[in-house]
Structure formats: C-alpha cells, structure tokens
Amino acid sequence: MIRYKSKILKKIREGLAKGGGIGNACEAAGITSMSLWRWRKKYPRIDRYMESLTEHRVQLVEDSLYKAALKGNTPAQMFFLKVNRPGRYNIDKPLIDARTQVNNNEVNVIQIFDAKAYASKLKELNGKSTTEIAGILSESIGMPEAAAPSGDEG
C-alpha cells in the first residue's frame, strides 16, 4: 500500500510541476482529490509532503513577483512593498486615487496623493511651476505626461 501511494504521490508531484492544480494532478495520477485529502488527514507524512509541494509553488510565484518588481513592474513593486513592509507602506488605503474630471469636452485625470507617502516630494516640488510639478508627479507614478493637469499657475 505504501509503495502504491508513493507512486501516486510522485505522479501528483509531476502534475503540479507542469503547472496543474491539485484536482488535475490527482486525476492524472488516477485518484480523486477527496482520496488525497483523506490520505492527508490519515497520514501526517503525506500531509507534510503536500505542504512542501505547495510551499515550493508559492516560492516560485514569490520569486517571479520579485523579479518583475526588479524589472520595474510598478504593481509588483507596490504589492511586494505593501506585503513585506506593511507599517511603512500602508495597505489599508491606496497611495493614489485617480479620478476623472470633464471640463469643456476635455478630460483631465486628477491625482489625489496620500500626504504621508508623498511628503518627501515637497522639497523637490518647492518653487516649481505647475507644469513642472505635473511632469515630476506623472513621472513618479508612470502616468503619461499628456494626462497630467495642464496650465502654469506659478
């Protein structure tokens, strides 16, 4: 019986390694997912083995997320920082709230920034014109220059 289960578990591992889910891997191994769950409850060693397979898959996704963040993928960077430094990067409220405003058939995207998150920008923005500020903020959030507020008030 143990030899039988070892062969089944090997087939499940192979199915998971190909990117399939638990149900598909069990089906390919010739058992139902319910059988696997019963084995996991009955045999702690099988449960630990399946946990290690799941942990390996999670690690692959985390590594992929980290690589995407390093390549400049802003959502990946934000997610990584929010999850790994929740005290510093508040996950309860968004850093940017984008809203649209229509004036005279012209659509402007208005950015409302969290004051704490962008307080460090204040020194950089001091004494700059509205156009320069819009360019700096657009660049810092990856917003196209054309969508930034226009006009030069100061």
DSSP 58: H
For the segment 113-145, what is each residue's pLDDT rounded down to a tens digit?
A: 555 445 555 555 666 676 776 676 666 655 554
| Share of residues in the chain with pLDDT > 90 (%) | 24
Do the beta carbons of residue 122 and residue 131 sit within 8 Å?
A: no
The Cα 22–Cα 37 span in angstroms is 10
Greater confidence (57 vs 112) lies with: 57
Distance of CA 89 to CAs 4, 35, 84, Å?
49, 43, 9
Q: What was the pLDDT predicted at 81?
A: 84
Q: What was the pLDDT predicted at 38?
A: 94
Indicate left, alpha or beta for 112 from its phi (over 0: left) and psi (-120 to 50: alpha).
beta
For the segment 25-81, what is each residue's pLDDT rounded down to a tens digit?
A: 999 999 999 999 999 999 999 899 999 998 998 898 899 989 998 998 888 888 888
> How confident is the prediction for the chain on average, in pLDDT?
74
Mean pLDDT of 94-104: 52
Q: What was the pLDDT predicted at 152?
A: 45
Mean pLDDT of 87-95: 61
87: pLDDT strictly greater than 70: yes
Q: How confident is the model at residue 148 (pLDDT cuts 50, 70, 90)?
A: very low
Q: What was the pLDDT predicted at 91?
A: 54
Tell me, yes or no, if the pTM score tops 0.75. Answer: no
Greater confidence (94 vs 39) lies with: 39
